[in-house]
Amino acid sequence: YFVSGLILFLFGGITGIINASYNHNLVVHNTAFIAGHFHTTVGGLVLLSFLGMSLYMVSQLRGTEVKLKGLAIWTPYLWMVGFVLFEIAMSIGGFQGIPRRTNMGLSYMDPQSPFHRADWLASMFVTAIGGVIAVAGFVLYMVSFFATLFARPVREPTIEFPMSESLHAEPVPLLLNFRPWITAMVVLIAFSYWAPLYDSAARGIKAESPAYNERFPVPIKQLQIEAQRR
């Protein structure tokens, strides 16, 4: 549960750092990107930690072993895979301009609606698939949880919490050598900034930004449309 939550928090943390950029926030504010971001933070590490701890504590307080443990083991993996798909699809949808807090079924996803956007269907479809996978994992957890809750006790109820060790005597050379970490940092920074730097060099620093157009609220999309018209 904890490791799957950390993997989800990796996606949530990266999108959160990106969203802290002022220019980026102008593009994705109030879009599906925001929903994808916080679903992998609060709905990732936080929720999976609560699920894992609650299952452990119920088994301890009831004096029984975790029932249907195989289902409980599958839960974090299904939840992680589902929410990774969910987050990636919603982030791409946010770049496309898909709004949040909107009844998509009665507007942009309805072929009969004047606001129908066929180019958004793929992102919403993958989002739905990810949600279904995550819900399936949660259903497996609930089955194991209630089976444990109502199981016949086999021992006296106890509350035992694993204690962390503050000092580890084994050597950890990888953590004491800064060279690989600094190298990875430089590579990631170069990978992140090469595109905007190349774009600035090719177009010029004083390149004019496109004027606001309510039909194309995402500037990069509007820029592509105007380039095609020219």
pLDDT of 72? 92
In a domain, residue 40? The reply is yes
In a domain, residue 166? The reply is no
Domain assignment of residue 227, given as a range:
174-230
User: What is the distance between the alpha carbons of residues 113 and 69, in angstroms, rounded to a whole number?
Assistant: 47
The neighbour count for residue 103, using CB atoms within 10 Å, is 9
pLDDT in tens, 23-79: 788 888 889 999 888 888 888 888 899 999 999 889 988 888 888 988 999 999 999
Tell me the one-letter amino acid at 55: L
Q: Do 157 and 178 belong together in one domain?
A: no
Q: Which residues of the chain have pLDDT under 70?
A: 204-223, 225-226, 230
pLDDT of 217? 58
pLDDT of 10? 86
Among 161, 191, 210, give the residue marking a domain's end. Answer: 161
The number of distinct structural domains making up the chain is: 2
Q: Do 149 and 229 belong together in one domain?
A: no
| Phi–psi pair at 99, nearest 5 degrees | -80, 155
Among 161, 184, 199, give the residue marking a domain's end. Answer: 161
CB under 8 Å to 205, separation ≥6 — which residues? Answer: none
In a domain, residue 224? The reply is yes
Q: Do 153 and 213 belong together in one domain?
A: no
- pTM greater than 0.95 (yes/no): no
Residue 26: name the closest of 223, 212, 226, 225 by CA: 212
Q: Do 57 and 140 belong together in one domain?
A: yes
